[in-house]
Amino acid sequence: MKKSPPNAGAPALASKLQPYVDNHSMAGAVFLVADKEGVLDLGAVGWADIEARKPMRDDTVFWIASMTKPVTAAALMMLMDEGRVNVGDPVEKYIPGFSGLQVLQADGTLVPPSHPVLVREILSHTSGMRFLNSTDRQIIDCVPLKTSVEHALLEPLLFDPGTRFLYSNEGTDAAGRIIEIVTDMPYEQFLQDRLFSPLGMRDTTFWPNPGQLARLARTYTAKKGGGLEETTTIHLTYPLDTPARYPAPGGGLFSTARDVCRFCQMLLHEGTFDGRTYLSKASHRRMTVKQTGPEIADAYGFGMSASDGSSYGHGGALKTSMTVDRGQVRVFLVQQAGDWPVGNPGADFDAEARRIYLKMEPETAGITVGTQPPAPARNEG
């Protein structure tokens, strides 16, 4: 990867974000823009910890609620490329508990599904498995992944597999469990050995060390009447400054903008990065292009939400986003719960980055802070 050049565009990008800090709409953010060769801009605005007056830095650590989805999908695609998993297989081939699942009907009755849940359906969030709530997470964060999946299988499917889209961390947990069964390795160890370490993602972990905790951004939400307050959210079941007891594929992990960028650059290069191949071209397409038919309008590729072959990304509950768009990677990290009280800093950053580096004037360009409606809340974690 080429050496990062001076941040020629960073002042312009920061100027789009600083007003949100000044009007107490957000505590702070880290932003990054890269191309196939390396990082073009990396900057930070505002505070990682308001009370301690600790500023955001370009190496601030974030709890990224959604990053486990694409990395889990990538790991499973690696096993697909090795012939050890097939996305057309019934999940029960790997996890026998799936053989007894029933579908909940509108009248409260239970009926067998029209076909067994397939691996492709847990990856595309069309399995019928529900989204775990905070009470569930308080239970399953305290148990190994095997037990977590067994807990999820106590509930019926909400619809017939393959007929609807429902964002499901239960399905992603099942994908992680398949990785454990097929490799006879802990889920988190496989990710570390096969993805994080080879990609040079040195700050990406399920258990932050003391040095990472010292760089951790606190979580804030907007108060009624204005201002910010430190908070926990329904997506967190333990304080961020204490490690999770167990890793959760449908939960989150700790990482930095540079680490997120390295994963996205691997996808930007269609599965190959720094001379090493992680995914075949076919698996890269499965990751990034919608894998369901036109009858399911709102659906994902196997890990990254997809609009077309040149633009895809993933967003998380605490306002994190990773985007690959027309040969460019854009990462925006904010530790913020709930909707933005004023405007949308992520959209402003994205518009300015597109204007500067893609020489494109997006539809959102020129919108000033305070005139842009908040983005709709997304049920992701």
Q: Are 69 and 252 in contact (CB under 8 A)?
A: no
Q: Give 352-376 pLDDT, tens digit per residue.
A: 999 999 988 765 444 333 333 333 3
Q: Give 96-152 pLDDT, tens digit per residue.
A: 999 989 999 999 999 999 999 999 999 999 999 988 776 676 666 678 899 989 988
Instruction: Report the alpha-carbon distance of residue 172 to residue 125 in Å, rounded.
Output: 8
pLDDT band at 241 (very low <50, low <70, confident <90, very high): low
180 found inside a domain = yes
127 found inside a domain = yes
108 found inside a domain = yes
CATH code assigned at 126: 3.40.710.10
274 vs 225: which has the higher pLDDT: 274
User: Is the per-residue pLDDT at 308 higher than 80?
Assistant: no
For the chain, what is the total number of helices (H) and then of strands (E)?
12, 16
266 found inside a domain = no
Q: Give 163-204 pLDDT, tens digit per residue.
A: 999 988 899 999 999 999 999 999 999 999 999 999 999 999
48 found inside a domain = no
Mean pLDDT of 287-294: 86
Based on the structure, what is the number of domains in the chain?
A: 1
**CA angle, 146 as apex, 148 and 123 as ends, to 5°?**
75
Mean pLDDT of 16-27: 95
Percent of the chain with pLDDT over 70: 86
Instruction: Report the alpha-carbon distance of residue 312 to residue 17 in Å, rounded.
Output: 23
pLDDT band at 381 (very low <50, low <70, confident <90, very high): very low
131 found inside a domain = yes
